[in-house]
């Protein structure tokens, strides 16, 4: 009964969605307010039905109703309840339902927040949201229905379940966090779209969507960082970012979204760059759909699997329609959107924002190019060329460093134009200190990108500090406040700006972490008991090899004594080699797993993987990596979250405005 109800809810949602779009379009033509009210009620019902359907699927997953194909595929009786729940987004049809579920919640929030506002824009906003909902509803109704019954010619006693190795909480929660970010860009997109169509001139709606975009951006950033953290802690290849298509799919909208967050400030304050912002948010939205397509259609593994399921072509068609419609609208709206104000000087904060945008978009293009290159080369030339991390690193390092530099340059530039004397006054200290730092780094023997990256980091930090100092000084001079009070009031009065600087500091920390990669060391070797091997100037000695049988697996535990150059003991690492289902008579069902052990310090991580074991000769094989400065990436992540929260923290003043 429940699966039927679920299917029916999805179908009804589709029906109501279509009706709602029709009513809203009629309202836009006739202006009869009753049509709008009815259309809005239907939009609410669509979202409610989607939420009901999702809850029904969750119920089926938790109660293990294996008559539903999806439940039987992704859970089993043994699956712990929490992973029965997270199976909601483990598979294709479930994750598509989950996408539209999040959008439905966002839709309800949007409707509620703006129930008495933007009467001219709202019908269009709702139409856009409904169209996106309908797209995913059609997919979940007709292409991959999560309520599809199990093929009925045999009885399912138990589901296939989830590999226990993949039952990891970080991995289970990182997709929904990412989705919160992905889906959230639909709302700013809908508003921008509506503003374009209704030719809304004011900058009021910009305020509402700026906050919305920031929340979305935070979720997307957290999703990306969590993904990296999980890969680093669990996967055992010693890195956090592999430029995998799935990772790129989330990184591309992040890049354009970040650009949008910057330039929307200029639109709000100066009423400039409107065309540019419109294009940016459209691009971001298209990239989120494209990203969902990349991760869900299987196009990256081969073009052939793309044509096997209708899902890929439908997605691609939807992206194409979005891009075409947006391009036409922007082109038509161009004369109306022209602002009477222009950027007045190349050395102004406004142009700093513009350049930051151009660089972000360039980086996004570079990633896009590398991601789709294999598909294009296969389609055009018949040979598939895979693009590896070296390409992405080589292309993006200079672009990234340019971005880092702009992070420091921006706050030093004045609005409208920077006079020569101010230019010298503000730049001399950060540039001077950065140059001194550069000389020091060179004396330490650092070369190449490492020096540039660290020097720029110093420059940015000093630039941000001087900006804070000037702000505090101004308040002290004018109001006679103490420095601390001045600092607090300054941040409170302009949370988004100073929160933004904290985010920038977080980005600097991350860059320091990325720079550490230049010094990564890696070595694989075998050790007998009391044997020794060194990686760099760190020694590893195998003290002991223990065996342990635990409830669902068997483990060999290596005791590695780690000592420094002078023989001083650093730590003891205990990496494990586990065999899950070790009692299974079929050896192919036994599942080896390397449990890493990482020794973490600010200076760097010692990362140990128990690769393999030779039980006859008592030799254990290890992969050891020394990863300097990795922790800075995570500290940068915390700083980024903190900064964004400062920017988002509601103030009384803000409530008056939104």
Considering only residues 54, 150, 371, 455, which one is a binding residue for other proteins as defined by CB under 8 A? 150
The footprint of other proteins on residues 191-250 (CB under 8 A) is: 202-204, 207, 236, 246
Q: Least separation, in Å, of the C-beta of 265 and other proteins?
A: 12
CB-based contact 305:299 (threshold 8 Å): yes
Q: Does 298 bind other proteins (CB under 8 A)?
A: yes
Please say which residue, 309 or 571, places its beta carbon nearer to other proteins: 309
> Of these, 84, 210, 262, 349, which contacts other proteins (CB under 8 A)?
349
Cβ 106 to other proteins shortest distance, Å:
20
Tell me how far apart the alpha carbons of residues 249 and 409 are, in angstroms, rounded to a whole number: 29
Residue that the structure tokens 């985010």 belong to: 503
Nearer to other proteins, 301 or 324 (CB): 301
Residues 505-524 that bind other proteins (CB under 8 A): 524
**Residues between 248 and 267 that touch other proteins (CB under 8 A):** none
Q: Rule CB under 8 A: is residue 501 a binding residue for other proteins? A: no
CA distance 430 to 462: 5
Terminal alpha carbon distance of the chain? 44
Q: Does 156 bind other proteins (CB under 8 A)?
A: yes
Number of shown-chain residues binding other proteins (CB under 8 A): 127
**How long a stretch of residues is the chain?**
658
Q: Is 177 in the site for other proteins (CB under 8 A)?
A: no
* 19, burial (CB in 10 Å: exposed 0-12, middle 13-18, buried 19+): middle
Site string for other proteins, 424-463 (x = CB under 8 A): --x-------------------------------------
CA angle 411, 359, 416 (to 5 degrees): 40
Supply the minimum distance, in Å, between the C-beta of residue 657 and other proteins.
6
User: Cα separation of 614 and 611, whole Å?
Assistant: 11
Q: How far is the CB of 658 from other proteins (least distance, A)?
A: 9
Choices 255-263, 437-445, 560-568, 606-614 (CB under 8 A): range interacting with other proteins: 606-614
* Region 52-71 residues binding other proteins, contact defined as CB under 8 A: 66, 69
| 165 binding other proteins? (CB under 8 A) | yes
> Helix, strand, or coil here: 621?
strand
Provide the b/e sequence for 223-260 (b: ≥16 CB within 10 Å).
bbbbbbbbbbebebebbbbbbebbbbbbbbbbbbbbbb
What is each CA distance from 621 to 236, 575, 593, 613, in whole angstroms?
A: 14, 11, 14, 6
Q: Which stretch binds other proteins (CB under 8 A): 74-82, 100-108, 322-330, 556-564?
A: 74-82
| H-run or E-run covering 620 | strand 619-628
What are residue 68's phi and psi, to 5 degrees?
A: -90, 125
Footprint on residues 27-56 left by other proteins (CB under 8 A): 31-35, 37-38, 41-42, 45
Asked whether position 386 contacts other proteins by CB under 8 A, the answer is yes
Single out the segment in contact with other proteins by CB under 8 A; choices: 86-94, 131-139, 511-519, 639-647: 86-94
| Binding status of residue 649 toward other proteins by CB under 8 A | no
Phi, psi of 34 (to 5 degrees): -60, -35
At 58 the three-state DSSP class reads helix
Residues 6+ apart with CB under 8 A from 530: 541, 542, 543
Among 169, 317, 325, 657, binds other proteins (CB under 8 A): 657
Query: Crossing angle, helix 483-493 and helix 495-516, to 10 degrees?
Result: 100
Question: 219 exposed, middle or buried (CB, 10 Å; 0-12, 13-18, 19+)?
Answer: buried
Q: Which of 471, 499, 506, 575 binds other proteins (CB under 8 A)?
A: 471
Residue 611 touches other proteins, criterion: CB under 8 A? yes
Exactly one of 310, 388, 528, 618 binds other proteins (CB under 8 A); that residue is 388
Considering beta carbons, is residue 447 or 493 the nearer one to other proteins? 493
Which residue's CB is nearer to other proteins, number 220 or number 359? 359
Out of 387, 404, 545, 573, which residue is the one contacting other proteins (CB under 8 A)?
Answer: 387
Find the part of the chain contacting other proteins (CB under 8 A) among 97-105, 340-348, 538-546, 644-652.
Answer: 340-348
Q: How far is the CB of 551 from other proteins (least distance, A)?
A: 15
- Determine which residue in the list 29, 112, 154, 448 makes contact with other proteins, applying CB under 8 A: 154
* DSSP state letter for 68: B
Q: What are residue 430's phi and psi, to 5 degrees?
A: -60, -45
* Cβ neighbours of 596 (radius 10 Å): 19
Q: Which of 59, 119, 492, 565 touches other proteins by CB under 8 A?
A: 119
Residues 6+ apart with CB under 8 A from 522: 238, 535, 623, 624, 625, 626
Q: Of 577, 573, 578, 579, which is closest to residue 543 (Cα–Cα)? A: 573
- Options 310, 398, 432, 564; binder of other proteins; rule CB under 8 A: 398
Distance CA 209, CA 203 (A): 10
CB nearer other proteins, residue 141 or residue 203: 203
Query: Residue from 346, 376, 435, 436 that binds other proteins (CB under 8 A)?
Result: 346
Q: Do the bridges between strand 569-573 and strand 553-563 make them parallel or antiparallel, or are there none, so unpaired? A: antiparallel
Of 633, 631, 645, 610, the C-alpha closest to 214 is 645
Element (H, E) at 638: helix 630-648
* Footprint (CB under 8 A) of other proteins, residues 545-604: 581, 584, 588-589, 591-594
Closest CB to other proteins among 355 and 635? Answer: 355
Burial profile 93-105: b = 16 or more Cβ within 10 angstroms, e = fewer: bbbbbbbbbbbbe
Q: How far is the CB of 273 from other proteins (least distance, A)?
A: 12
Q: Is 353 in the site for other proteins (CB under 8 A)?
A: no
Q: Does 470 bind other proteins (CB under 8 A)?
A: yes
């Amino acid at each position: 009964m429940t699966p039927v109800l679920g299917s029916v809810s999805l179908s009804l949602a589709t029906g109501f969605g279509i009706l709602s779009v029709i009513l809203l379009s009629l309202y836009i033509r006739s202006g009869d307010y009753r049509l709008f009210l009815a259309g809005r009620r239907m939009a609410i019902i669509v979202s409610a039905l989607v939420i009901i359907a999702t809850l029904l699927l969750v119920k089926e997953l938790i109660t293990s109703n294996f008559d539903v194909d999806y439940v039987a595929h992704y859970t089993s009786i043994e699956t712990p309840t929490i992973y029965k729940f997270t199976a909601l987004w483990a598979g294709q049809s479930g994750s598509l339902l989950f996408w539209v579920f999040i959008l439905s919640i966002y839709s309800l929030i949007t409707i509620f927040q703006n129930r008495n506002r933007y009467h001219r824009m709202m019908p269009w906003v709702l139409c856009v949201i409904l169209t996106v909902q309908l797209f995913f509803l059609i997919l979940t109704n007709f292409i991959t229905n999560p309520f599809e019954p199990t093929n009925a010619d045999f009885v399912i006693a138990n589901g296939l379940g989830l590999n226990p190795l993949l039952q990891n909480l970080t991995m289970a929660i990182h997709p929904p966090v990412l989705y919160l970010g992905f889906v959230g860009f639909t709302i700013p997109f809908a508003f921008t779209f509506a503003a374009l169509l209704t030719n809304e001139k004011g900058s009021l709606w910009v305020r509402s969507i700026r906050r919305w975009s920031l929340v979305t951006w935070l979720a997307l950033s957290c999703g990306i960082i969590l993904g990296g953290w999980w890969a680093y802690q669990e996967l055992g290849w010693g890195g956090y970012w592999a430029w995998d298509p799935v990772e790129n799919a989330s990184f591309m909208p992040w890049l354009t979204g970040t650009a949008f967050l910057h330039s929307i400030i200029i639109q709000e304050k100066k009423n400039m760059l409107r065309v540019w912002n419109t294009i940016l948010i459209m691009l971001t939205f298209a990239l989120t759909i494209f990203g969902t397509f990349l991760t869900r259609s299987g196009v990256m593994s081969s073009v052939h699997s793309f044509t096997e399921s209708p899902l890929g072509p439908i997605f691609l068609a939807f992206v194409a329609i979005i891009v075409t419609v947006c391009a036409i609208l922007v082109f038509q709206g161009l004369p109306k959107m022209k602002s009477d104000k222009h950027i007045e000087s190349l050395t102004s904060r406004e142009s700093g924002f513009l350049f930051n945008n151009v660089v972000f978009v360039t980086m996004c293009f570079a990633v896009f190019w590398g991601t789709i290159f294999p598909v294009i080369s296969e389609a055009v030339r018949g040979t598939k060329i895979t693009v590896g991390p070296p390409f992405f690193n080589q292309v993006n390092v200079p672009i990234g460093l340019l971005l880092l530099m702009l992070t420091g340059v921006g706050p030093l530039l004045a609005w409208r134009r920077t006079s020569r004397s101010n230019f010298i006054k503000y730049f001399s200290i950060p540039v001077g200190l950065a140059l001194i730092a550069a000389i020091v780094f060179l004396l330490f023997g650092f070369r190449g990108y490492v020096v540039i990256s660290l020097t720029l980091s110093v420059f940015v930090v000093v630039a941000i500090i001087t900006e804070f100092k000037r702000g505090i000084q101004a308040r002290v001079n004018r109001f006679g406040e103490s420095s601390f009070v001045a600092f607090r009031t300054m941040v409170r009065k302009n949370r988004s700006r100073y929160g933004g600087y904290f985010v920038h500091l977080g980005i600097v920390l991350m860059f320091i972490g990325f720079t550490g990669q230049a010094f990564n060391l890696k070595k694989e070797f075998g050790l007998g008991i009391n044997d020794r091997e060194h990686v760099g100037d760190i020694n590893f000695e195998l003290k002991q090899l223990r065996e342990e049988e635990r409830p669902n697996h068997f483990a060999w535990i290596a005791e590695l004594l780690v000592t420094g150059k002078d023989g001083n003991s650093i730590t003891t690492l205990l990496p494990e080699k586990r065999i899950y289902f070790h009692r299974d008579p079929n050896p192919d069902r036994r599942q080896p797993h390397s449990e890493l052990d990482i020794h973490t310090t600010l200076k760097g991580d010692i990362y140990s993987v128990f690769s393999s074991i030779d039980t006859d000769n008592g030799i254990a094989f290890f992969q050891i990596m020394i990863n300097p400065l990795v922790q800075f990436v995570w500290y940068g992540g915390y700083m980024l979250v903190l900064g964004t929260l400062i920017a988002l923290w509601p103030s009384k003043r803000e409530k008056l405005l939104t």
